Amino acid sequence: MKAKKTSNQQRDLLDRGWHLARTPLEIDVAEIEYALMRSYEAFGRWQAECLATVIEFSASGPENALLHIIRMNDRPKSIRDLAQMTNRDDIPNIQYSLRKLVKADLVKRQGSGRAGVTYEVTPLGHRVTERYADIRSALLIDAVTRVPDLADRLEDAARTLELMTGIYEQSARAAATHRRRHPQPEVIGVREEG
């Protein structure tokens, strides 16, 4: 309880308001969004560096994620499966990433036609993902275990992020539904009232 009180006192000393954070709730939501952006970038760097310790292959965070998701449960995945599992709708970008993974011999494409094509890891992809998991355990998981109570908080954090994902999805649908046609933009500048 004392830590919570100290945290609240520190918050009172800081100016946390900005155009997206006008009320206490808006401040909390803006701070989680800002933390998500920073976490996403740090996660991408982590993935790239961890993969670079295993194989000389330049992959973005989403490409690395696709490799591991394809390996998940050791069963082939379709592009539709991958899009759904990653909450993505940018199919051309997923296809580009898959071509890159295939070219690197980490993933192989099977089947033909739109509905019949699946992807699975190659023997090299299997070795790479196993080694990645070993390094992840030695570096990342070890670091998590060294932070008191962090392991216990991860499940709640994951549930919160999943809940926020659903809220963002619904809000995006609502925004798309209520989007207005905007008139031609005016010249940007300060208008004088007169």
- Return the top range by mean pLDDT from 18-22, 133-137, 184-188: 133-137
Pair 17, 27: CB distance under 8 Å: yes
Check pLDDT > 60 for residue 194: no
Specify the pTM: 0.77
d(CA 84, CA 64): 16
How remote is the C-alpha of 183 from its chain's centroid?
34
Q: How confident is the model at residue 5 (pLDDT cuts 50, 70, 90)?
A: low
Q: How confident is the model at residue 188 (pLDDT cuts 50, 70, 90)?
A: low
Q: Among positive and negative, which fits the CA dihedral 81, 84, 87, 92? A: positive
Instruction: Tokens 């940007």: give the residue.
Output: 188
Q: What is the pLDDT of residues 111-123, one digit of tens each?
A: 987 668 999 999 9
Structure tokens at 168: 């963002």
Report percent pLDDT > 90 for the chain: 63
- Please state whether 189 falls in left (phi above 0), alpha (psi between -120 and 50) or beta: left
Domains of the chain are 17-166 (1.10.10.10)
Q: How confident is the model at residue 101 (pLDDT cuts 50, 70, 90)?
A: very high
The 10 Å Cβ neighbour count of residue 98 is: 21
More confident residue, 93 or 11: 93
Q: How confident is the model at residue 46 (pLDDT cuts 50, 70, 90)?
A: very high
pLDDT for res 73:
94
Helix (H, G, I), strand (E, B) or coil at 107: strand
